[in-house]
Each structure stands twice: as C-alpha cells, then as structure tokens.
Chains A and B, each alone.
Chain A
Amino acid sequence: MYLAISYTFQNVLLGTTLLGVVGGVLGCFALLRKQSLLGDALAHASLPGVCLAFLWMGTKDTYSFLIGAIFTGVLGSLFVLGVVRGTRIKEDSAIGIVLSVFFGVGVVLLTWIEKNHQSGNQSGLSHILYGQAATLMERDVWIFVIAGVIILGTIFLFYKELKLLCFDREYGKSLGYPMAALEILVTCLLVITVVIGLQTVGVILIIASLITPAACARQWTDRFSWMLLLAGLIGGLSSVAGTFVSEQFHRIPTGPTIVLVSSSVLIISILFAPQRGILWSWLQSASFRRRIREENLLKDIYGWVEKRNDWSRWPSLSNLMGVRGQSGIKIKKIARPLEHGGLLLVTEKAMKLTEKGLEEAERIVRKHRIWELYLARRLDLPPDHVHRDAEAMEHALSDEALAEFEELLGYPKFDPHGQPIPARRGSSSKAESKATGGV
C-alpha cells in the first residue's frame, strides 16, 4: 500500500515539476512578446477539443485528448489572428471573444457528455477544468519528458533567433531570419505546453504556470538568459513545493496549490526585488526625500548667514525653525546625519557649516540660482515666478547639467533677484575669507 502511494506520488511529482520548468521557460517568451492572453485563449479553446475527442473515441484516452486539445487550441488561436487581421477588432477583444466562445462550447459539450454517457462520470473529463495531478500515470510522465526535451531543446537551439524575435522582429526579418516561421514555432511550443498541462493544472489555471514564473524572474534580472533559467527554476521549485503541500493535506488539489505557491513567489518578487520591486522604489524615493531635506537645511543655514552678511555668526536652532516652520526635533533629526558626515557642527547655541558643509551648501545654492536665471532669461518668466521651480530643480539637476547651463548663460554672477551666485570652488579658499567676515 505504502509503496503504491509513493509510486503514484513519484509520477505526480515528476510530472508537475517538468511542467513547471517547461512552462516557466516558455512563459518568458509569451510574457516578453506580450502574448500572455493568447496563451490563455489557447488553453480555454482546447476544452471543446478534449470533449470532441471523447465523443469520437468513446473512451478516455490520453493521446486522443491531446490531439483534440491541440486541434481546437490551434483553431482558437488562428481565429484570434484572423479576427485581428480581417476586422477592425483589436487583439485583446479578439482574444476575449475567442476565449469565451470556445470555452462556452466546451462547457456545453462537457455537461452533455456527463449527462448522457454512462462512462462520462468516470471519464475524468471534468478534471480538465481544474486539473487532477493525482491521476498522472507513468505513461503521462513519459509524454511530459519527451515534450519537455523537445521544447527545451528547441529553445536552446534557437536561443539567438528567438531572442531576436522577442526583441525586434522586423530587424530580424531584415537580417534574413524567417520571423513568421519562428513565430509559428514558439506558438507550437506554447500549444504543446498548454496541452500537457491540462491534465495537471487544468484549462483555467494553466496560464499561471506559464506567466507567473516568468513574471517573477523578470523582477530579479535584467538579462534574457538569466530570466529563462530563473523562470524555469521558479516554475520547477513551485511545482515541487506545491505538490508536497497538496500531498500533505490530501484534499487540496495539486494544480491550484502549485499556482498558489508560484503566486506567493510573485508577490515577494514584486515587493522585494531590487530595482523593480516596490520596496526598492519606496526606499529610493525615501532616500531622495531625505536628501532634499538635508540639502534644504544646508541651504537655509547658508541663506541665513548670507542675508546678514556676517560669516562669523551662525544661526541657532530656533532661528532655523523660523525658516520653514519645522519643529526643533525635526531639524535635529535632519541635522544628525549631516553632523556625522562632517558637514555640520552642532553646538548648544548654533549650527555651523564646516568647510565641507559650506562647499555643499554653495553647490546647492548655485544650482538654485542658475536654474532661476535660466528660467528668467531663456523662458522669459518674471523673476517672482521662478523660485518655486528652482526649489525642486536644485535637488534634481546633475553637476554636468549645471556646468552646461552655466556655459549657456555665460557664467553669470547674479541671479534674477540680484543675489550673487556662489562661484565654483577653485584654488583660493573662499570659506576662509568668509569665516573672517569678508565676502
């Protein structure tokens, strides 16, 4: 008894894992070619084919099911292409139409079979909807192995050409590669994957085995080759994990469990992946906001002293609180990293810019005033309209861009409000002259 179960489980595990790997790798092509929905239409369109095959043969037979599924699946995708080429209907609508019509026909046939055929209930036909990995036999696994080798082998062999197809079809054609033929090749591989996935994951969820691992992989890498490998890995591991989980809790179906596992990986990927993840961009913008606050504080201190034209007196905390209406606690919080970075000297009575801090403050003020001048001179904005815009630009303008603006404006000395634009730091130490009270 125990042996029998573990043998069945072995088949199930092998079958789902293979499907996971193949689906993951192939899904990258569907994802990058923006044909995810076409795959879904194809899967749904295969349902009537399976039913027709059953009606034709009268028994449940894997091979005839596969042929039936391929037949209507391909027919469905040809319909989509035909509608797009021959009418004004756009691809997404065409997919919606074909998907629902074929699936509707399939469900009608399925219901009719289950009512009218004695063997209908035992036919396992309804498994096609949600999949039932537990019914995988050794023979099915062999089909999976053969299909997997064909699909992965083809991708390996045509790696360069398929990459060209995904990235720049027209260009590939101009180089002499038969892009239409390669397109058909990819679609065929997609059909095979969908069809062998029917029994395991089912018509409705098979698209998840294709797209989810690919979408996960895209989050983590910027290389095509790595994306393929990673998607295969994520697909395979999700299948292993999902199959074990569903084995542990007997009543949970395998296919949906696998989909849940890979979807969890996707959620993690969307949240935490570097560069593309939500957390990453949130951290980026948080650090940008922090930098803005720091730069503003440096600028405020500079401005306070500049206004009084006395480079020996520095503002106190309460002086600075008046500038932007920030609380003392907040200013202290902003000042702390600046103090650590050696830009700021905080004493009981005053916040003093160090040599380094002064340099940084001048850099910011320069950006602000040069941008103001640019707006006023080049775009003829009145001087009282330019401040707010410059307030944002001073944090975004790169040093290279600043240098070009300066050149464009002829190295100006004063901003539109008549305030001096701090000179670029040269050999003479201006800070010293300022510190002694001169300007």
Chain B
Amino acid sequence: MKPAPILSQPSMDPSNQELPKSENHPPAIEVHDLTAAYGTQPVLWDVDLEIPEGSLVAIVGPNGAGKSTLLKAVLGLIQPLTGWVKIFGEEYSKKRSWVGYVPQRETVDWDFPTTALDVVTMGLYGRLGWFRLPRRSHKEQALACLDKLGVAHLAHRQISQLSGGQQQRVFLARALAQDARLYLMDEPFAGVDVKTEKAVIELLKQLREEGRTVIAVHHDLQTVNDYFDHVVLLNLRLVASGPVSTTFTDENLNKTYGGRLTALTQAAEALLSKQPDKRN
C-alpha cells in the first residue's frame, strides 16, 4: 500500500505541486567556497558542496565542526565571509518559500505562552505575509500537520507541558506546514525517545519519496547507514560529501573525527556495526 502523501493540501506556490526529478534541474543546494566566522573564530572553511534534489542527507561531524553554521549559512541566517549559496539555482531570498527549517529544539523558550497548534501555525506565517492573521483554515492545516506526526491530540496543550519528543514533533509539524521542497533540520533526533525517532525517520523517508530534499544534522553515526542515502562529513572543512555507500567510509570518518579519542571510538563502533547488506 502506498502511503498517503504527507502534504496533501494544495500549496499557494504552483511549482510546489509537482516535484519533478529531472537530471537537468539545478541541485537543491549548491555551496561555493563558503567561509564563515563568528567574530574572529572561523567555523567553516572553503566549503564546496552540492546536494542533489530528492536526497535524504546527513550532516555529520564532531562538536563545533560547523554543522549548524552550514545550515544557517544556507538559510541566510548568517552572513558568510566569502562564497555563495544557491537554492535550486537561485538566491535564497528568491526561493524562500521552497525551504523549510527546523531549528534545534533548545533554541527556543518552551515556557513561552503558546500552544502546540499555535507553534505549527507559525509555519504558515511565511505564506501569510505581513499583517494578515491566521484564519480557521490555516489552523486546520496546522492541525493536519500535527496529525501527520501523531500529536494532534496535543494541539491545545501549552508547549511546556510536552515531552522532549513531543516538542520535536511539534517543530517538525511546523516545518511540514511550510510545504517546502527542501528541508533543513538541525538535530531532529536530539534528545527524543525511540518512538519519536522511528516516527521522524519514517516521515523523512516519506518526504524523500515525494521527491523532497531533506538535510539533517545528525549525531548518531550508527544510524547513518540505515536512515540516510547521502552524507556530508564536516569538520570546519568539508571532508567528503556523497552517497553513504561510497562516502561513509573508515578513512573519511577518521579524517572527520581524527585525533578525538571519544569520537574515534564512536566512529569505530559505527564502522563495526556497518553491514553492507543492511542497506537495500
């Protein structure tokens, strides 16, 4: 049985309705010679990167490797020192409605006086534009997105009453509401329960089946093989980027995590658990 499409509501942008997987389409993301710094502390050096449309991508690297910064640079949230980023061949500002963002869960105050439904409705703010307030139809769309993540029953809960996994689901539902072709997610699996992790990965795979591109900062090296089909290895510089089967190698992981004992052990574990027949 084919699963129902995640985003069935008609979108405002006609180009969102069909998602062609054509070879002559520009890549979902093209990063050229990107260097970024916070103050005098460089966090990304000369990154060149291309992400083909329709892939499910993990960004992997040790702490402080610039993973979140890369996402933020793509989203135009930080100004790079050099280089440029193109989304589907154009400036981010032109393709903004094609891009959905899931920030790290800890970046917001979950004691903020608002409900889960309200947070998801924020995903529609971009489409609403200035001054217009969400109407009932928008709330219904938001509720449908909560439902896709199995938390529709929590719609009217204050967000501080949600568990970590539920909060993450709300954030993902908000991104779904954006009905984007490209999703950038900052650690969508951080601090969530096993059930949520399963639900989230199912969702990401389903998004990919619909031809959407999903990029997630990921920490658990052991699941990269099972979850993703494309991997970006990052440690200030780009170590490697490509299909998991050819890129997620012993050598590349060593280069990425080199010199860090704990990370190395983790990487070794990941390699040990790697079984070629696990991937289909």
Interface residue from A158, A170, A227 paired with B113 (Cβ < 8 Å): A227
Q: For residue B72, which residues in chain A have a CB less than 8 angstroms away from its CB? A: 170
Among the listed stretches B24-32, B127-135, B272-280, which one makes contact with chain A, having 4 or more residues with CB under 8 Å of it? Answer: B127-135
In the assembled complex, the Cα of A90 lies from the Cα of B75 at a distance in Å of: 27
Q: Provide the B170-202 mask, 1 if CB < 8 A to any CB of A, else 0.
A: 000010000000000000000000000000000
Q: What is the distance, in angstroms, from B121's C-beta to the closest C-beta of chain A?
A: 9
Q: For residue B76, which residues in chain A have a CB less than 8 angstroms away from its CB? A: 173-174
Q: For residue A163, which residues in chain B have a CB less than 8 angstroms away from its CB? A: 114
Number of residues on chain A facing chain B (CB within 8 A): 27
Among the listed stretches B99-107, B211-219, B227-235, which one makes contact with chain A, having 4 or more residues with CB under 8 Å of it? Answer: B99-107
In the assembled complex, the Cα of A356 lies from the Cα of B114 at a distance in Å of: 40
Nearest A-chain residue to B100, judged by Cβ: A174
Q: Provide the A165-186 mask, 1 if CB < 8 A to any CB of B, else 0.
A: 0111011111111000000000
B134 touches A174 (CB 8 A): no
Q: Given contacts A222-B113, A224-B114, are A171 and B131 in contact (CB under 8 A)?
A: no
Q: For residue B114, which residues in chain A have a CB less than 8 angstroms away from its CB? A: 163, 167, 222-224
Within 8 A of A (CB), among B31-74: 72
Q: What is the distance, in angstroms, from B139's C-beta to the closest C-beta of chain A?
A: 13
B126 touches A175 (CB 8 A): yes
- Tally of contacts, chain A with chain B, CB under 8 A: 70
Interface residue from A160, A164, A166, A175 paired with B96 (Cβ < 8 Å): A175
A167 touches B75 (CB 8 A): no
Q: For residue B93, which residues in chain A have a CB less than 8 angstroms away from its CB? A: 176
Q: For residue B122, which residues in chain A have a CB less than 8 angstroms away from its CB? A: 164, 167-168, 171
In the assembled complex, the Cα of A168 lies from the Cα of B77 at a distance in Å of: 13
Number of residues on chain B facing chain A (CB within 8 A): 29
B77 touches A166 (CB 8 A): no
Asked if A359 is an interface residue, CB under 8 A from chain B, the answer is no
B125 touches A222 (CB 8 A): no
Asked if B158 is an interface residue, CB under 8 A from chain A, the answer is yes
Q: What is the distance, in angstroms, from A34's C-beta to the closest C-beta of chain B?
A: 8
B101 touches A171 (CB 8 A): yes
In the assembled complex, the Cα of A32 lies from the Cα of B114 at a distance in Å of: 12
Q: Given contacts A174-B99, A174-B101, A176-B93, are A167 and B112 in contact (CB under 8 A)?
A: yes
Q: For residue B113, which residues in chain A have a CB less than 8 angstroms away from its CB? A: 32, 218, 221-224, 226-227
Main secondary structure on A side of the interface with B: helix
Q: What is the distance, in angstroms, from B157's C-beta to the closest C-beta of chain A?
A: 9
In the assembled complex, the Cα of A164 lies from the Cα of B215 at a distance in Å of: 24
Q: For residue B174, which residues in chain A have a CB less than 8 angstroms away from its CB? A: 171
In the assembled complex, the Cα of A226 lies from the Cα of B115 at a distance in Å of: 12
Q: What is the distance, in angstroms, from B12's C-beta to the closest C-beta of chain A?
A: 14
A222 touches B108 (CB 8 A): no
B77 touches A174 (CB 8 A): yes
A160 touches B134 (CB 8 A): yes
A168 touches B108 (CB 8 A): yes
Asked if A161 is an interface residue, CB under 8 A from chain B, the answer is yes
Nearest A-chain residue to B132, judged by Cβ: A160
Nearest B-chain residue to A227, judged by Cβ: B113
In the assembled complex, the Cα of A171 lies from the Cα of B119 at a distance in Å of: 11
Q: For residue A158, which residues in chain B have a CB less than 8 angstroms away from its CB? A: 131
A170 touches B134 (CB 8 A): no
Q: Provide the A253-272 mask, 1 if CB < 8 A to any CB of B, else 0.
A: 00000000000000000000
Q: What is the distance, in angstroms, from A406's C-beta to the closest C-beta of chain B?
A: 17
In the assembled complex, the Cα of A167 lies from the Cα of B119 at a distance in Å of: 9
Q: For residue A168, which residues in chain B have a CB less than 8 angstroms away from its CB? A: 103, 107-108, 122
Q: For residue A159, which residues in chain B have a CB less than 8 angstroms away from its CB? A: 133
Q: What is the distance, in angstroms, from A115's C-beta to the closest C-beta of chain B?
A: 46
Q: For residue A164, which residues in chain B have a CB less than 8 angstroms away from its CB? A: 122, 125
B96 touches A176 (CB 8 A): yes
In the assembled complex, the Cα of A268 lies from the Cα of B99 at a distance in Å of: 46
In the assembled complex, the Cα of A163 lies from the Cα of B109 at a distance in Å of: 13
Question: Could you write out 14 A-B pairs with CB less than 8 Å apart?
Answer: A32-B113, A160-B134, A164-B125, A167-B108, A167-B114, A167-B122, A170-B77, A170-B101, A174-B101, A175-B125, A175-B126, A221-B113, A222-B114, A223-B113
Shortest 6 CB-CB contacts between residues of A and residues of B: A175-B126, A222-B158, A174-B101, A174-B75, A176-B96, A168-B108
Give me the interface of B with A, judged by CB distance under 8 Å. Answer: 72, 75-77, 93, 96, 99, 101, 103, 107-109, 112-115, 118-119, 122, 125-126, 128, 130-134, 158, 174
Give me the interface of A with B, judged by CB distance under 8 Å. Answer: 32, 34, 157-161, 163-164, 166-168, 170-177, 218, 221-224, 226-227
